[in-house]
């Protein structure tokens, strides 16, 4: 199973548009365009799942940089989220660890 990140999508690009683009290179299991939780508007990126790793690699090479909806796509293998979500300067929770606070004095 190859999970592929597709970035720089125009907001008018549909899941079917992306599916058609990738199906030229192999069997596509699922296409998801990520939307904003509150507004429901597309966020400009999505994911494609392909069963066959070799087909997925060929699709990444062929589709990366290709224009759809007037925008050049940024396509690469999706990396799993690291623990902690990768927020903050050191990848922690975003609170920082700059020491002292002086509470309780």
pLDDT band at 79 (very low <50, low <70, confident <90, very high): confident
Asked if pLDDT for residue 14 goes beyond 60, the answer is: yes
- Mean pLDDT over 53-62 rounds to 97
Does residue 68 contact residue 17 with C-beta atoms inside 8 Å?
A: yes
pLDDT band at 102 (very low <50, low <70, confident <90, very high): low
Lowest mean pLDDT among 16-20, 64-68, 84-88: 84-88
Tell me the whole-structure pTM to 2 decimals: 0.76
Tokens read off for 49: 């799942």
Provide the pLDDT for residue 90: 47
């Amino acid at each position: 199973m190859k999970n592929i990140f597709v970035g720089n999508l125009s907001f008018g690009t549909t899941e079917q548009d992306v599916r058609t683009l990738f199906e030229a290179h192999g069997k596509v299991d699922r296409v998801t365009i990520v939307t904003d939780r509150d507004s429901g508007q597309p966020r400009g990126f999505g994911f494609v799942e392909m069963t066959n790793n070799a087909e997925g690699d060929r699709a990444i090479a062929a589709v990366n940089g290709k224009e759809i909806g007037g925008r050049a796509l940024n396509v690469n293998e999706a990396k799993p989220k690291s623990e902690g979500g990768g927020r903050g300067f050191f990848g922690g929770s975003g609170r920082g660890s700059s020491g002292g606070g002086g509470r309780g004095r």
